[in-house]
Amino acid sequence: MKPRVYLIDYENVNKAGLEGAEALSRFDKVIVFYSIKADTVPIDILNKCKAKLDFIKAEVGTLNAMDFQLVAYLFYNMKKSRDYYIITKDQGFRAILNMSKNYGGSVKIKSFIGEKESEDQEMIEKSSIAQPNEGSASDKVIKFNEVDIDRVEYGIDCSAAMEVSGIIKSSLGAVPTPDVLRMVIDGIKNYPQKSDFYLYCTKTMGQVPGQAFYSGIKKKFTTIKEIVELAS
């Protein structure tokens, strides 16, 4: 199964659209498009979700402003290696489904993350969704702009970066420094072929150190590459 990307029309579905997020894998992504009209999320969802979480604050003030920004993001970032889902009850999004096929992409629509897919992709309107008991952890919310999810240091999800670090440690017998770890991740992103990555190592680290480093991890190159690509 391909990694999945969920684009959340948060103004439209609010927290109900995130139902099922706890079942996602760490290679999936949830991108929440929010605005000042809907800018809080239950803390328990953040704690339970293993997928990579990103939050994009949409500019509002004109008709369908968030919808246009969500679609622009989708087509700009679309990859054939992923399956995409727009989480919304807005029927207007159905117009882009056929268009996405022209770009080689797979886009489907759901009203919440865990909704089962129907063959014809008809949107199932939910008249009621079970609400948490009063006073439960689900009642606690946090502003999106207060969420501290730092993925800048390594260029990929931190948990994936730590997995790469563990592989390097097992191969070389030493934990890589943050600079070396970032070098490896950046190198694989830009030079995904073994021969090119080897040259990158020797150029970045020097001929002898680079050769030694590459020789130590080359048996795990494919595994590291897969982790980096899925987490990027």
Tell me: the pLDDT tens digits for 116-162? Answer: 876 445 443 333 334 444 455 445 665 555 544 444 467 787 778 88
CA distance 103 to 87: 20
Claim to verify: residue 126 and residue 17 sit in the same structural domain: yes
What is the per-residue pLDDT for 153?
67
Asked which of 119, 146, 173 is the last residue of a domain, the reply is 146
CA distances from 11 to 39, 40, 59, 104 (A): 9, 11, 12, 28
Give me the mean pLDDT over the 208-228 stretch: 93
What is the per-residue pLDDT for 143?
58
Lowest mean pLDDT among 14-28, 119-133, 154-168, 187-201: 119-133
Claim to verify: residue 9 and residue 85 sit in the same structural domain: yes
pLDDT confidence bin for 76, thresholds 50/70/90: confident
CA distance 56 to 11: 12
Chain mean position to CA 72: 17
For residue 36, the enclosing domain spans 4-146
Claim to verify: residue 119 and residue 42 sit in the same structural domain: yes
Check if the beta carbon of residue 57 is closer than 8 Å to that of residue 145: yes
What is the per-residue pLDDT for 3?
87
Claim to verify: residue 104 and residue 128 sit in the same structural domain: yes
Check if the beta carbon of residue 196 is closer than 8 Å to that of residue 212: no
Average pLDDT, the chain: 82
Claim to verify: residue 108 and residue 215 sit in the same structural domain: no
| Helix or strand holding residue 142 (H, E) | strand 141-143
CA distances from 210 to 166, 183, 196, 228 (A): 19, 12, 12, 20
φ/ψ of residue 139, rounded to 5: -80, -15
* Count of structural domains, the chain: 2
What is the per-residue pLDDT for 120?
45
Contacts by residues 185-194 (CB-CB < 8 Å, ≥ 24 positions apart) = 185/154, 185/155, 185/156, 185/161, 185/228, 186/155, 188/224, 188/225, 188/228, 188/229, 189/155, 189/228, 189/232, 192/225, 192/229, 194/218, 194/221
Claim to verify: residue 44 and residue 110 sit in the same structural domain: yes
Residue 204 lies in a domain: yes
Check if the beta carbon of residue 19 is closer than 8 Å to that of residue 113: yes
What is the per-residue pLDDT for 150?
44
Claim to verify: residue 81 and residue 166 sit in the same structural domain: no
Residue 181 lies in a domain: yes
CA distance 13 to 38: 10
